[in-house]
Structure 1
Amino acid sequence: MFDAVFVSDIHLSTDVPARTAVFVSFLRRLHTRKLYILGDLFDFWVGGDHARLFHGSGLFDALTQLRADGTEIFILPGNRDFLISNTAPHIFPAEILPETHTINSPYGRTLLLHGDQLLLNDVGYTLFRFCSRQKVLRLLYLSLPLQLRLGIARIMRQQSKTAVKRKRNKNPRILQFSRYALSSLLRQGFRCVVCGHIHRTSKFCFRVGNDTLHIYVLGQWTQNGGDFLTLNSGRFVFHTFKA
């Protein structure tokens, strides 16, 4: 039994049922007091009625059973499924958290977030992120028919893939965490960050003077499985779940 488990970037989609199946298998085998899903549980999320497309996949049944077994489940919005925060609470057998959440860890004050907030070098994305989080735009989008919302989401998903590839080839630094953002977290008293978004499992430290920020980054899941982070007996440890 783990004290806490952290996962991110599962990117569940009805177009890739094998990925959903492997994550459901992971949930059914999991024994933890708390589960934190740090954004992008879904490849995209267009509103509460999106949930019915996953009926029969076993996802919601597995989450419900996990909670019934005593696990507290927390979901943070990601950059692809940020509209989860606009979804009625009864849709998910979990607590939907704000985009950032603070816990205590062996390092001290620890920040949980998806991670896209830290990419301040990507000015274009930062502007898009600000605009897309505006309440009026959210409500306007959610008022559209489901199929139209799905169509728009798929187009934007493809455009995002193209943009990321172009940015990576042109200037990889754009897709790295901003030193300014990390310095700001240190000034706010954080000593650890757990996040995802950049799809590469890693652990590194960021230092300013005598202050150190310990950063754990979760990777992306595929139909073959994925990495997860555990907190147990005062230690963070990475693990891999394989299908």
Structure 2
Amino acid sequence: MHFVKQNTYFISDLHLGAPSLEQSQQRERKVVDFLKSIQDDCATLYIVGDLFDYWFEYKKVVPRGHTRLLGTLATMADAGMQLHIFTGNHDLWMTDYLGQELGATIHHQPLKIQLGTGQFYIAHGDGLGPGDLKYKMIKRIFTNRICQWLYRRLHPNFGVGFAARMSRTSRNSQSDDDHAFLGDKERQLQHSLSVLENENIDFFIYGHRHHLKDLPLTHERKDGTKIEARYVVLGDWITLDSFAKWDGTTFTTSTYSPEQ
């Protein structure tokens, strides 16, 4: 009997390339093992930002490494899996390389999509919600096409190296407390509530915050209508090895171990 793949998987924040080559390759092998464990039933894979700890594409040059993961994704895509990759705050300079090589759809903005019985809102999460004006200004500069064109005038050895140093500096400036769940103060959660004021969403799927959350979300609109959704943060593959799965009717979050 022919088996029809129907499951959709979500992962985020792999940060390949950090903090060292050895640690990155260990993490990469773990992710590859996970992908191989789901390849028989995975119809669609969403990588919801920060696949790489740093990334910048020149017309003819991309950062070296990550061959195990890219090869596995290519094999799965060739077998029919749909691949969606969201840019995050660490790899926002992603353009068309992975689209051409892997057949991936690259998303630079939040995506609203119907999957089975659920309406999904998917985004990495950086820069969403109120406040954080300094980062929002920096992101506008980094995503400006003229600024990107000027950056590409730099030699790749310097350009990629500088991007790696900026990413490392940003990461080293953070502590575990920066990833702690802030409850109602979470900007992504506040953004979700603002979306629910005008739209019907069943699942909000985010990365970026490096904690694993799957919470009920209720919003009362100005007209008194109550809307319910689920607020999901996917965790990461640095400490949590977490993922989410949707079979068209049931949504679950879990963590990966080689024994499962």
Q: Shared fold (TM-score greater than 0.5)?
A: yes
- SS of the equivalent of 1:136 reads helix
Q: Give, in whole Å, the separation in 2 of the partners of 1:166 and 1:201.
A: 14
Bigger CA drift: 196-205 or 157-166?
Answer: 157-166
Larger Rg: 2
1:133 matches 2:143: yes
More helix by share: 1
Counterpart of 2:207 in structure 1 is: 196
What CA distance in whole angstroms lies between the structure 2 residues aligned with 1:120 and 1:164? 20
Instruction: Tell whether 2:153 aligns with 1:143.
Output: yes
CA contact (8 A) 1:11 1:41 kept: yes
1:37-76 to structure 2, matched below 5 A, reads 37-47=47-57, 49-51=61-63, 53-54=64-65, 57-76=67-86
Shift of 1:118: 2.2
**1:173 shift after superposition:** 8.3
1:212 equivalent to 2:242? Answer: no
For the 8 Å contact 2:115–2:248, the answer to whether it is kept is no
Q: Which residue of 2 aligns with 1:24?
A: 32
Contact 2:48 2:122 in 1 (8 A): yes
Residue 186 of structure 2 corresponds to which residue in structure 1?
176
Code of the aligned partner of 2:14: I
- RMSD over aligned CA atoms reads 2.8
Structure 1: gaps of 5 or more residues:
none
8 Å Cα contact 2:116/2:248 also seen in 1: no
Displacement of 1:213 after TM fit?
A: 3.4
Give me the TM-score of the superposition, normalised by structure 1: 0.85
1:11 corresponding residue in structure 2: 15
| AA in 2 matched with 1:206 | L
The residue matched to 2:95 in structure 1 has which SS? helix
| 1:169-224 Cα distance to aligned partner (Å, 9 max, x none) | 9xx689832565223211341422111100001012333211233211101103x7
Partner of 2:244: 229
CA distance in 1, matches of 2:176, 2:36: 38
CA deviations on 1:81-130 (whole Å, 9 max, x unpaired) are: 11113547323342223322121247743211111132533222122122
- Structure 1 residue 143: Cα displacement: 2.8
Asked whether the equivalents of residues 42 and 81 of structure 1 are also in contact (C-alpha less than 8 Å), the reply is: yes
1:99 matched residue in structure 2: 109
Question: In the alignment, what sits opposite 1:81?
Answer: 91
Q: Which amino acid aligns with 2:252?
A: V
The answer to whether the 8 Å contact 2:112/2:122 transfers is: yes
Amino acid aligned to 2:195: L
Counting matched residue pairs gives 238
Change (3 A) 1:176 1:162: farther
My pick for the range that moved more, 41-50 or 118-127, is 118-127
Q: Percent identity?
A: 23
Whole-angstrom CA distance in 1 between matches of 2:96 and 2:11: 21
Residue identity opposite 1:54 in structure 2: G
Which amino acid in 2 is paired with 1:242?
A: S
